[in-house]
């Protein structure tokens, strides 16, 4: 199914909303950096900060499924052997 | 437009919410059993909760012309207490013949632990033995992908279960395809912060065509919006999507899925 609206219309109606969201992201990253001038991030926070950096790279790509890729980036891995690890016997 | 909210926790909402939902076109809802915000101490705590779900809420909804249905289980969070879970599972059949019960739910995983998986499997066994439909909760945030895959593994391992009688809820961009491709129904939950916005939900409807897809508010005691389904309808209209597609997602699909439960008895508005 394709969206009935064309790209021009979507850009026009979403521009201010996306602009505001990007500004929030930019200001948050600035805020983190300012706080890090006095002390560096702990390991757990640093790995989260790194994920945010990875996420912005996905946004810059031309992939058709950027939302799905972000979801995957923020997800724990699936291990098909989970049943064995739990001691379950698969049918 | 008349609509159905297939996943909303009305025990946590005020009577004013029933009134608002009725005014916005809600004609039916289904309420899965879930976590109360604290761990219940005994099987009798669940028995009282199931009475609330099968007696009190249908009466409260009926005052506003809304038909209330429900699903019973012990939720994944409390499934960490395996012995209590088994007592609750053994007690559930007392309620399966109540007129508004559609099946077992919302069962699933929360942190994808062994105890959660054990109790999930025991719920599947209960559903298979009693021929019940199933409503599934998938975990949130970083646990969703792994947990959804584990849930699908367990569902597909059990040959007694018909995917057409299972609704896998809280699907998002990275889990929706696998759920629908394997023949299950998928539910999109419109919920602030941890789940999905109406805009992203409509993107998924556009990309999948809306087949076997439902939308719900999951309104509960947390930050949530019980009127989220009307927000989705509004977003679909804003995009000039056909009324037939809107109706399919918010009315026809829930009706078709609920109709697989033998006790589902719905009277459309005349
Ligand atoms: Zn729920």
How many domains are there within chain A? 2
Whether residue A15 is contained in a domain is answered as: yes
Report pLDDT digits (tens) over B25-47. 999 999 999 999 999 999 999 99
Chain B CB contacts of A72 below 8 Å: 145, 174
Q: For residues B12-20, give the mean pLDDT.
A: 97
Task: For residue B47, give every residue at least 6 positions away whose Cβ sits within 8 Å of its Cβ, in sequence order, or none.
Answer: B91, B94
- Would you say residue A3 has pLDDT above 60? no
> Contact A76/B142, CB-based, under 8 Å?
yes
Q: Distance between CA atoms of B194 and B187, rounded to whole angstroms? A: 15
**Domain boundaries along the sequence of chain B:** 3-258
* ipTM of the complex model: 0.90
The pLDDT score that the predictor gives to residue A38 is 87
Q: What pTM was computed for the model?
A: 0.95
- Specify the CATH number of the domain B3-258: 3.20.20.140
Chain B CB contacts of A86 below 8 Å: 114, 117
* A26 and A55 belong to one structural domain: no
- Backbone angles phi and psi of B105, in degrees to 5: 170, 170
* A49 and A34 belong to one structural domain: no
* A31 and A46 belong to one structural domain: no
> Contact A71/B158, CB-based, under 8 Å?
no
Whether residue A62 is contained in a domain is answered as: yes
Quote the strand ranges of B83-229, DSSP E: 101-108, 133-137, 166-168, 185-189, 213-216
How many helices (H) and strands (E) chain A has is answered by 4, 0
* A28 and A47 belong to one structural domain: no
The pLDDT score that the predictor gives to residue A39 is 87
Q: Which residues, listed in sequence order, are joined to residue B168 by a DSSP beta bridge?
A: B136, B186
Average pLDDT, chain B: 97
Q: Which residue of B has its CA nearest to A87?
A: B114
Other CB atoms closer than 10 Å to residue A39's CB: what's the count?
A: 7
Chain B CB contacts of A88 below 8 Å: 117
Chain B CB contacts of A4 below 8 Å: 239-241
B68-B71-B75-B76 Cα dihedral, nearest 10 degrees: -120
Report pLDDT digits (tens) over B176-190. 999 999 999 999 999
Which structural domain range is residue A59 located in?
Answer: 41-75
> Which pLDDT band holds residue B254 (cuts at 50, 70, 90)?
very high
Q: Cα(B156) to centroid of ligand 1, in Å? A: 23
Report CA B201 to chain centroid distance, whole Å: 16
Q: Which residue of A has its CA nearest to B202?
A: A3
Whether residue A20 is contained in a domain is answered as: yes
* A15 and A48 belong to one structural domain: no
User: Å from A57 to nearest chain B CA?
Assistant: 18
- Show the tokens assigned to B215: 């939308």
Report CA B229 to chain centroid distance, whole Å: 14
The pLDDT score that the predictor gives to residue B261 is 98
* A62 and A46 belong to one structural domain: yes
- Backbone angles phi and psi of B70, in degrees to 5: -150, 165
Report pLDDT digits (tens) over B194-229. 679 999 999 999 999 999 999 999 999 998 999 999
Whether residue A82 is contained in a domain is answered as: no
Q: Cα(B106) to centroid of ligand 1, in Å? A: 7
């Amino acid at each position: 199914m394709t969206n009935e609206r064309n790209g021009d219309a979507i850009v026009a109606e979403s521009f201010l909303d996306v602009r505001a969201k990007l500004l929030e992201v930019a200001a948050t990253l600035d805020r983190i950096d300012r706080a890090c001038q006095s002390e560096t991030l702990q390991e757990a926070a640093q790995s989260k900060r790194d994920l945010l950096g990875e996420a912005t790279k996905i946004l810059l790509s031309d992939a058709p499924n950027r939302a799905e890729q972000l979801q995957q980036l923020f997800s724990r891995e699936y291990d098909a052997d989970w049943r064995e690890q739990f001691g379950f016997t698969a049918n | 437009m008349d609509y159905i909210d297939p996943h909303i926790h009305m025990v946590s909402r005020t009577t004013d919410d029933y009134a608002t939902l009725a005014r916005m076109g809600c004609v039916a809802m289904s309420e899965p059993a879930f976590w109360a915000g604290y761990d219940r101490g005994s099987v009798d705590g669940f028995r009282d909760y199931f009475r609330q779900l099968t007696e009190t809420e249908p009466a409260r909804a009926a005052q506003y012309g809304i038909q209330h249905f429900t699903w019973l289980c012990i939720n994944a969070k409390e499934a960490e207490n395996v012995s209590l879970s088994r007592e609750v599972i053994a007690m559930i059949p007392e309620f399966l013949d109540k007129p508004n019960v559609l099946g077992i739910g919302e069962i699933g995983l929360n942190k994808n632990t062994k105890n959660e998986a054990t109790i999930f499997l025991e719920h599947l066994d209960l559903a298979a033995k009693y021929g019940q439909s199933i409503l599934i909760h998938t975990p949130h945030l970083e646990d969703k992908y792994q947990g959804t895959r584990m849930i699908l593994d367990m569902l597909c391992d059990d040959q007694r279960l018909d995917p057409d009688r299972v609704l896998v809820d809280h699907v998002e961009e990275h889990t929706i395809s696998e759920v629908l491709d394997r023949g299950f129904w998928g539910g999109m939950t419109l919920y602030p912060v941890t789940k999905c916005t109406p805009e992203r939900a409509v993107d998924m409807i556009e990309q999948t065509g809306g087949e076997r897809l439902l939308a719900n508010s999951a309104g509960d005691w947390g930050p949530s919006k019980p009127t989220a389904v009307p927000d989705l309808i509004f977003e679909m209209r804003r995009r000039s999507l056909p009324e037939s597609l809107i109706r399919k997602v918010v009315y026809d699909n829930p009706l078709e899925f609920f109709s697989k439960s033998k006790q589902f008895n719905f009277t459309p508005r005349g």
